Structure 1
């Protein structure tokens, strides 16, 4: 199938707003607290794990075009219970990631009332989705240009002025793998192009074969440059304590006049990333309803409300660093199942070799199990509770259907 450079650029631009969300604006602070300057080499491992997972979701999306995301792929390939675990991991991860994105927005845009600002963003973005607003190619190009332009200013400012000597350094190389898992979330928006929602335009394998590596590679370069800039200007100790690293780096570099531009970029990126996160969670809930795992009477509006409430609870109950850890670990578990599902695709259904799915599976498990212990424990508990709740709901619905069927069979006999 032929493709044009314009198609490739449009596809990359469509994915960038989902990738350049909370990670580049807020992810470096908790990462620096764990590993200091080692966060920069850890980014390479994060990007490679994301690349393998992106290949797997793209292959499965092509094999199952009418199935909604990883939950649907796993249900088709591995069965009911793995699919329930996949759905639980995905929903918990999306709720936690929504909390991270919203917290980032609050810290940058409404620093005096960050929680109120974060909650307002969740509600406003959900309403945008409810009225049918979508981030098409044109809007995505605009968002990408705004965010990339502001990030370029931050990097240039951070390297233009000699930093004040730092009081100390944080982190050790022993946390490199754990930080790679934490920063995996910096790249996890690739599903925007590898597994589009129903009704959205799908991208040909020829386009994705170029667009996926370029999207991940470009994002890696951006994160590397921004991370090096804020680490140079703030030092890992100050960076670890910063709720808004890009803003504080500009202030330290005597470029406080550019702070409003960073706030605009954070707002634009926050809306775009949160829109993707909420719609992704809604898609998984819709798949559960359609498969009879949840009550079929649940309407789209009710599902949207469930997503908003879950995101708000995660925002209120978890600090940003904890929410980022939970989002990363549960999303990595989600991709472990997705890569495991991709491994069993027939060879003639593949665009990329099976070894990429094997690598994605191994890296997802390794990075997830290397996360900070509190985040890992919350993730495992949530995964178990969510899977059990879905299974219990499905069992109760099956039992009710059986009783109704038996009642209908007895009624004619009684007459």
Structure 2
């Protein structure tokens, strides 16, 4: 969650709602809390790798399990494109698409050889991200441009859309649940870790969001694909802009490395269940990685980087991820009280919130997301009929 999202999501959110993005952030946090609660209860009951792909198969049926996995793959593949474009927007503005594609190629080459982001590297990236965000906040407050007048210009009509776009930046807590088999004492650890992580991130995002709005206002945030760099460059601390560029670039590459890794492994699991072409389950004899799945992900991401901008990638990703969490809440509703079911209002609010936020995203994202969901349903039906034959 403390990755590239915070460096990119404020721009489309500001375009949608102006300073009302702060209200959108609060709404996104409430929906994320409901999703996190449902995820935590399900992960404690089913401490298996796969997240909602597993939960929906167990509680809702194979079709909905497939749709959860499909939504995860689609949403996170779009997230990969957003990470690559965010990296390029900060590291090489003016050459965004080329540099973004080169980043995807480089990360895929690392993953192909079995290189993974270790816990130590993760801590370093998070620490660097927090230092970078601290520089942004300090530059916002002390740079000489901060004014409460910049908080004017709330567009209430776009608040829900801003919430859906900002939800993109919260989505990382699913990673805790998908690693259920690798967590010590998952029934105790996961339900505590998810809401704690969510709370910390919400505080960080609120501080950064308020500071950025005070410094430059929503119009300036909406006008760039690198909003936090624009915040620093607007004031007397502009000399520290390279710090933000480096921090955002490292955070984006770290997120991209983890995302390609996670998406390809989900494809591997679905291919092994014959819910995707079995050829995608091939594992490299030397490096031990699902190389065909990784290459397929890279090919799709490169196409998205070449055709979408950061805002389009974020919107498309948000639709897929919100669909995924809608199925998480639906699965949690099927739990019995003795299985640790969350309060029903939490599941219902999370389910309704995900659907509403998904449908209020920019129209191209909604139409594209619905089209891909229908394609997924068609794939599942065709494979089921072939299996019967």
Provide the TM-score with structure 2 as the length reference: 0.91
167-176 or 215-224: which moved more? 167-176
* 1:275-354 pair list within 5 angstroms: 275-298=257-280, 299=282, 300-350=290-340, 352-354=342-344
Give the unaligned 5+ runs of structure 1.
1-18, 403-415
Q: Give the match's secondary structure for 1:149.
A: helix
The answer as to 2:173 corresponding to 1:183 is no
Please name the residue that 1:123 is paired with. Answer: 105
Counterpart-to-counterpart distance in 1, 2:162 and 2:4: 15
Question: What is residue 247 of structure 1 aligned with on the other side?
Answer: 229
Change in CA separation of 1:99 and 1:171 when aligned onto 2, cut-off 3 Å: farther
Paired residues of 2:7 and 2:86 also in contact (CA < 8 A): yes
CA separation in 2, counterparts of 1:351 and 1:55? 10
Alignment pair present for 1:262 and 2:252:
no
Matched residues in 1 for 2:23 and 2:46: separation? 35
Does structure 2 conserve the Cα–Cα contact (< 8 Å) formed by 1:294 and 1:394?
no
Paired residue for 1:378?
368
Unaligned 5+ segments in structure 2 are 283-289
Q: How does 1:14-413 map to 2 (within 5 A)?
A: 19-163=1-145, 172-196=155-179, 200-202=182-184, 204-298=186-280, 299=282, 300-350=290-340, 352-396=342-386, 398=387, 402=389
Distance 1:259 1:130, change over 3 A: same
Looking at structure 2, the residues matched to 161 and 393 of structure 1 have their Cα atoms a distance apart, in angstroms, of 59
Q: Is the 8 A contact 1:230 1:249 kept in 2?
A: yes
Paired with 1:190 and 1:231, the residues of 2 have a C-alpha distance of 26
Question: How far does the alpha carbon of each residue in 1:69-121 deviate from its partner, in whole angstroms, 9 at most, with x for none?
Answer: 22222122211222232233222211211111111000001224211221122
Query: For the residues of structure 1 that align with 2:335 and 2:164, how far apart are their CA atoms?
Result: 26
Q: Report how many aligned residue pairs link the two structures.
A: 380
CA deviation string 1:26-70 (max 9, x = no partner):
111111011011101211111121122122222222322335222
SS where residue 224 of structure 2 aligns?
Answer: coil
Which position in structure 2 is the counterpart of 1:411?
none
1:28–1:276 CA distance, 2 compared to 1 (3 A)? same
CA contact (8 A) 1:197 1:283 kept: no
Report the CA distance between 1:167 and its aligned residue. Answer: 10
1:144 Cα offset (Å): 1.2
C-alpha distance in structure 2 between counterparts of 1:316 and 1:32, whole Å: 24
Deviations 1:275-319 (A, max 9, x none): 232233223212221222123233111111111111111222222
Residues in 2 aligned to 1:358 and 1:316: alpha-carbon distance in whole angstroms: 38
Task: State whether residues 333 and 341 of structure 2, in contact with CA within 8 Å, keep that contact through their aligned partners in structure 1.
Answer: no
CA RMSD, Structure 1 to Structure 2 (Å):
2.3
CA deviation after TM superposition for structure 1 residue 263, in Å: 1.7
Cα distance in structure 1, aligned partners of 2:157 and 2:355: 18
Post-superposition CA distance 1:148-172 (Å, at most 9, x none): 0110111011111332889997661
CA displacement, residues 178-200 of structure 1 (integer Å, 9 cap, x when unaligned): 211111111100022222176x3
Whether the aligned pair in 1 keeps the contact of 2:80 and 2:301 (CA below 8 Å) is yes
Q: How far apart, in 2, do the equivalents of 1:143 and 1:50 lie?
A: 23
Q: TM-score, normalised by structure 1?
A: 0.85
* Structure 2 contact 264–297 (Cα < 8 Å) conserved: yes
Return the alpha-carbon distance in structure 1 between the equivalents of residues 370 and 185 of structure 2: 34
Q: 1:304, 1:379 → 2: CA distance? A: 22
| Residues 72 and 207 (structure 1), Cα distance of their counterparts in 2 relative to 1, 3 Å cut | closer
Instruction: State how far apart, in whole Å, the 1-side matches of 2:376 and 2:192 are.
Output: 37
Structure with the greater alpha carbon radius of gyration: 1
